[in-house]
A = this chain, B = another copy of it.
Amino acid sequence: MSDTDVLIKRSGLRNTKQRKAILDIIRISELPVTAEDVYLELKKQHIPVNLSTVYRTMETMSECMLIKKLRFLGEEKTFFEYFKAMHRHYLVCLRCKKILPISGCPLKSYEKTLEEKTDYSISGHRLDIYGYCPQCKETDNI
């Protein structure tokens, strides 16, 4: 029984071939993926699956906190990444759309301050940084 099997079972989900394959793909990918990415990868691996199953599975898994939903500016599609305890931010190239993970989060103490100031209960934040990668910043931006 693989790690992936354990993760699925522990979440109270039935362990089907499709779910295992989907979670494997998301876990292995070091970058966020879309439902379509996962679907195409499954096809490439000759694992029979329907796009709607991919959507349903990824929705279920994100409710179970196995994976996390992400959205980037100017991208109409929803991305997903494996749920790591340690949260991450990304630097996205506005020209080639390359996604670069950033280490560390600059907002830890800021959230506490804000909580006191606003009387909200802060549960988290979304931070993405945009710019041009070393390759793209050389060429005429825009």
Contact surface of A with B, Cβ cutoff 8 Å: 69, 71, 73, 91, 93-94, 100, 102, 106-107, 110-111, 114-115, 118-134, 137, 141
A110 CA to B121 CA in the complex, in Å?
25
Closest to A123 in B: B131
Give chain B nearest CB distance to A130 CB in angstroms: 5
Q: Are A126 and B73 in contact (CB under 8 A)?
A: yes
Q: In the assembly, how many copies of this chain are there? A: 2
A122 CA to B91 CA in the complex, in Å?
9
Q: Are B134 and A119 in contact (CB under 8 A)?
A: yes
A59 CA to B121 CA in the complex, in Å?
35
CB contacts (< 8 Å) of A71 on chain B: these are 71, 73
CB contacts (< 8 Å) of A118 on chain B: these are 91, 100, 102
CB contacts (< 8 Å) of A110 on chain B: these are 106
Give chain B nearest CB distance to A65 CB in angstroms: 12
Give chain B nearest CB distance to A78 CB in angstroms: 10
Closest to A93 in B: B120
Q: What would 5 A/B residue contacts be, using CB atoms closer than 8 Å? A: A71-B71, A73-B126, A93-B120, A107-B127, A114-B129
CB contacts (< 8 Å) of A102 on chain B: these are 114, 118
The answer to whether residues A121 and B137 also contact, given A73-B71, A126-B128 and a CB cut-off of 8 A, is: yes
Closest to A69 in B: B73
